[in-house]
Structure 1
């Protein structure tokens, strides 16, 4: 049996194929979101602005809300699984997580800033910092780490908004919990889209969940089902009665569709408690469903799911290249188009078709040839 088959067998034996597939799904949806912002962004309509949006645009954006929370929580899960399965010491895990975290922060501040057109602290940045925090937290019992993460997820909305005249204080507040654009000078600003506090909690919670993949299947499925249903039920109850968990309350609208839109329209920057309940709850049920699948080694869900960072970087610049090319051909002045939403879906499919052979080539380098540098991507 070749090394690739050995690798796939190892995944099956450790019941983490579901994680790979789910990671691939959210990455595919992520491509949809970034394609939409490039190809449909020129309309000037915020998909979550209930006054100006329309259902197709809103739900195209809404389905991609699952990407960041699930990706971050799966990163935490994978850290625990890797530590336990390979019997890594706390010291070794500290080193690996800390170095990996620094690399991600560096990538966000350098390579990825080219795509964003400036310093934008997004998901790669917050994963990097969360990994550094997790490198310390993993010295403690996993269930204690999970409890801490759950407390942060549940109660971070109680932190009030602050505004300071001091530049450093404003920057610190934004980095910790308030999404803002901070003007450093007349020519330089930092946009903080992903404040740290909620996301650190999500990764810590995910780390503790890695333990369930070493349980018997029946126990794991029971836990996932009960936890998923509790999260979903709590979200529905809190949202209907506007009890807690989101800065903008739910309101009944003139039509049923827009009432649903109002119900699902939750704050992402930073992610509210209800936003996290809405996205994480279904994830538990998805993991149960995905355990039934055993895809072959060349399946896109394996290829994409096992090359996440490489896929992320490549898809951004592929979108940039394709968008710039069509901008020139069609004579648009900006990178954002105001074409019909249908073009978003056409280009999305084209992007995925192009990304598959590129990601597969890198997959072969990483898991068959096992080139040393690939462990960092």
Structure 2
């Protein structure tokens, strides 16, 4: 996710390691959460590329899924909104440390452009192993959002918070806009900004339209002052924020009041009913989706600091090197899928242009059981950890300008 998603630099002593200041503890809290969602993201992409049913049905389809498959997919809903929210928080913390005005705007412009370029090149290729194909996901949405935020960081944080609330709460009201009423250029812009889908004559698809995710980044920036508080006050404020987000989700979702286009219905048993209530829209992110995912993310933010150090270590390594870990895992998952395919007698060519034409793999009946997918996921994390940990240590002891781009 790049250093635009990184927050403060660790205060480090090359001989003794990190200095345990409140700023360092705040950074650990953020990096632990970011590391966890990277772990979940690797799980999601491993399932996407290797599960037997990945090309056959939506794992959230209550008529076809199982509870384990449903929650394997559902828990990964936390990834994109948490990354985007924490990016906004990190940008605010940079401003709080004195990087304001043009230096901050320039940082956001260059970092945003860098993320966009990487999304349409190395990242899209890593997912698809074919060009040209533009697979515009969360990195693209975050990059464009940073460019937009570069023009807004001159405003008070409460103004940006209000803008974020308006976008997150209100963008769903535009869901009824008909694509047929737009010109060809207008349709592409609408796909990029508001509604996922194909890009017309441009090969590829927009999966994460920018405007709703920009709203989530504005929320992170606007709520950034919470993360600048001293430790006890910060924890109290995050607790209240988590409770408020989850309570508002329940108020809106249980009576099917507002904020989610897919109404839930009474089911045959409580388990199915719970899954139906939690089945909220990610593409684009509905208000209810944003409330429950960020609410749970704030709960995890508080809980992860109580983990034993043994379990914190890999999360910190991943959380402190988000972009490198993200980029590496894409290629590792795709290559692992090819190896699994070879073991099942499927030619590697069927894994190229996978996103543009998944029919070949669908016809091959390719894939692993869900327990096997979990095994591959853990193996990929084991391979990633020493690389991420080594790079995290290197970053803590060096201040080269190029490190902020990788």
Coarse TM-score class (shorter-chain normalised): over 0.9
In the other structure, the counterpart of 1:80 is: 92
- What is the distance in 2 between the residues matched to 1:141 and 1:370? 30
| Equivalent position to 2:271, from 238, 244, 257 | 257
In the other structure, the counterpart of 2:205 is: 191
Judge which range, 160-169 or 170-179, deviates more. Answer: 160-169
With over 3 angstroms needed to count, the CA separation of the structure-2 counterparts of 1:204 and 1:4, relative to structure 1, is: farther
- The offset of 1:190, in angstroms, is 2.7
Confirm whether residue 45 of structure 1 aligns to residue 57 of structure 2.
Answer: yes
- The offset of 1:357, in angstroms, is 1.1
Tell me the SS of whatever aligns to 1:315.
helix
Superposed CA deviations along residues 32-91 of structure 1, whole A, max 9, x for unmatched, are 000000111555121122222221111100000000001100011111112212x11311
| Equivalent position to 1:58, from 63, 66, 70 | 70
- What is the distance in 2 between the residues matched to 1:89 and 1:296? 37
Q: What residue ranges of structure 1 are gaps of 5+ in the alignment? A: none
Confirm whether residue 126 of structure 1 aligns to residue 124 of structure 2.
Answer: no
In the other structure, the counterpart of 1:173 is: 190
Q: What residue ranges of structure 2 are gaps of 5+ in the alignment? A: 1-11, 352-360
Superposed CA deviations along residues 146-184 of structure 1, whole A, max 9, x for unmatched, are 111112111111113321362111111111111111321
Confirm whether residue 161 of structure 1 aligns to residue 177 of structure 2.
Answer: yes
Judge which range, 62-71 or 174-183, deviates more. Answer: 174-183
Confirm whether residue 352 of structure 1 aligns to residue 375 of structure 2.
Answer: no
Tell me the SS of whatever aligns to 1:151.
helix
RMSD, matched Cα: 2.1
Confirm whether residue 93 of structure 1 aligns to residue 104 of structure 2.
Answer: yes
With over 3 angstroms needed to count, the CA separation of the structure-2 counterparts of 1:42 and 1:237, relative to structure 1, is: closer
Superposed CA deviations along residues 274-301 of structure 1, whole A, max 9, x for unmatched, are 0001101122222233344695899212
- What is the distance in 2 between the residues matched to 1:43 and 1:157? 28
Task: Check whether the contact 2:192–2:206 (CA below 8 A) recurs between aligned residues.
Answer: yes
With over 3 angstroms needed to count, the CA separation of the structure-2 counterparts of 1:189 and 1:3, relative to structure 1, is: same
Judge which range, 262-271 or 116-125, deviates more. Answer: 116-125
Tell me the SS of whatever aligns to 2:205.
strand
Tell me the SS of whatever aligns to 2:20.
helix
Judge which range, 204-213 or 350-359, deviates more. Answer: 204-213
Tell me the SS of whatever aligns to 1:243.
coil
The runs of 4+ residues in structure 1 deviating greater than 4 Å are: 10-14, 291-298
Tell me the SS of whatever aligns to 1:113.
helix
In the other structure, the counterpart of 1:105 is: 116
- What is the distance in 2 between the residues matched to 1:14 and 1:49? 41
